[in-house]
Amino acid sequence: LENRASLLKKLKLKRTPKREAMMDILAGEPHYTTPEEVWQRMRQRFAKIGLPTVYRNLEELAEGGVVSKVLHPDRKLYYFYCPNDSHHHHFICLSCRKVEDLRSCLTEGVESEVEGRGGTVLSHIVQVNGLCSDCRRKEDAA
Ligand SMILES: [Zn+2]
Ligand SMILES: [Zn+2]
Ligand SMILES: [Zn+2]
């Protein structure tokens, strides 16, 4: 992950080996992961790192918008990294935890509805949950 230094700078977070390692772990992973899984991998490099440190760092990176948090129906905490910083939304597979970028935005109808009431939309959060093509095929075959 080349731009991690500038990302951390933008967030006014100090560049530490731990933060950088954490970003590398998330950047190399096309699936959303739990803090515990990040912790397991971090321990291979930082033997003494505690789970609370991993939680705190992930939360800091999420607050800064560097990593994204998943709102999962199982209510567990998951994070992922997406390098695409233009406005877009994510499709997440509930079975294999894959994350895909979506091209469409799904909000046009909502904006006109809000405007019809005299209001205006300033921002929105959309996350689409489902089964990816691989998992859907598996389900159909089963
Ligand atoms: Zn899947
Ligand atoms: Zn994305
Ligand atoms: Zn959108």
Own/partner contacts of 61-68, CB < 8 Å, gap of 24 or more, are 61/11, 61/13, 61/19, 61/22, 61/23, 64/7, 64/10, 64/11, 64/13, 66/7, 66/8, 66/11, 66/23, 67/23, 67/26
Which amino acid is located at 3 in the chain? Answer: N
- The SS3 call for residue 1 is coil
CA of 9 to the centre of ligand 1 (A): 34
CA of 64 to the centre of ligand 1 (A): 28
Q: Which of 27, 44, 1 is nearest to 79 (CA)?
A: 27
Residues 78-132 pLDDT 10s: 999 998 888 899 999 999 999 999 998 878 889 999 999 999 999 998 999 999 9
Q: What pTM does this model have?
A: 0.84
Looking at the CA of 92, name the nearest ligand: 1
Residue 29: both structure tokens together: 């992973």
Looking at the CA of 123, name the nearest ligand: 3
